[in-house]
Amino acid sequence: MKWIYINTGDNTGLYNMEFDMNLVKDVVPGNIYFRLYRWSPYCVSLGANQNIGEIDEFKVKEDGIDLVKRPTGGRAILHSEELTYSIIMSLENDSSPKNIYRQINLALINGLKIYDFSLTELEIEGVSPDLLSMYKDNLGSACFAVPAKNEIKYSGKKLVGSAQRKVGRVLLQHGSIMCGNYHLNLADYLNLSTNERKKIKEDLKSKTIELETILNNKTDYHYLSESIVKGFEEFFAVRMQREELILSN
């Protein structure tokens, strides 16, 4: 398998989601595409099956926040002070998406520890949440409110959220490494009552954590990107090829 690394920098929500899906469409069997990117402007993304009516579109527009749908499931995310990754690969006959999900998160932990050696408490969530009950509650409007099984947490709080989608025999996995705490403002953009927004803010604050909160230092996104790449190379015993890709429309 050949690993290809792409860093597309800061782009709109539509660009970022279309880039991932174009990679899915253009994937070459035997290649694994690993992309790192950020969001400009900040962006609320909705899960593939989520109703846009859950979002206060006027407030989003007023604050200059982008709005897009993700190809993966889950609920709303406010992409802001974060580093986002995506991995696109063809599935072999013996490939297990669940195992791939876990392995990717272990590689992310390896990269985060390279970024700062003090991140020794990072661990993998071992319990699956009751998603059905969560989605019945308005808490389900916020994707980061609860860590899913095999996601990354620090001192019991979610640090990295990820999601998968299969398109035929191609697997897309992408996720967010939370760096700053602006994501806590997600509730401001949900069509909820004042009390419901307050509860979601409190839940997000109590159940999520960010690199800058842990390390008490501003994020060096360039060094973080390089550390994550190195972490993957070490974990999977590979050397990534860095390429500029031109994708079909």
Q: State the average pLDDT over residues 73-80.
A: 93
pLDDT value at position 247? 54
Q: Specify whether the CB–CB gap between 225 and 7 falls below 8 A.
A: yes
The answer on pLDDT for 79 being more than 80 is yes
User: In the numeric block, which tokens belong to residue 181?
Assistant: 């705490």
pLDDT the model gives residue 249: 44
Which pLDDT score, from 0 to 100, does residue 61 have?
Answer: 97
Average pLDDT over residues 108-126: 94
pLDDT at 53: 94
Query: How high is the pLDDT of residue 149?
Result: 78
**Token match 């595409």: residue?**
33
- Over pLDDT 90: what percentage of the chain? 83
Tell whether the model's pLDDT for residue 147 goes beyond 70: no
Query: b/e for 88-113, b at 16 or more Cβ within 10 A?
Result: bbbeeeeeeeeebbeebbbbbbbbbe
Asked if the model's pLDDT at residue 145 lies above 80, the reply is no
Min mean pLDDT across 39-48, 112-121, 147-156, 227-236 is at 147-156
Cross-strand pairs, 153: 123, 158
| Residue-range domains of the chain with CATH | 2-95+120-221 (3.30.930.10)
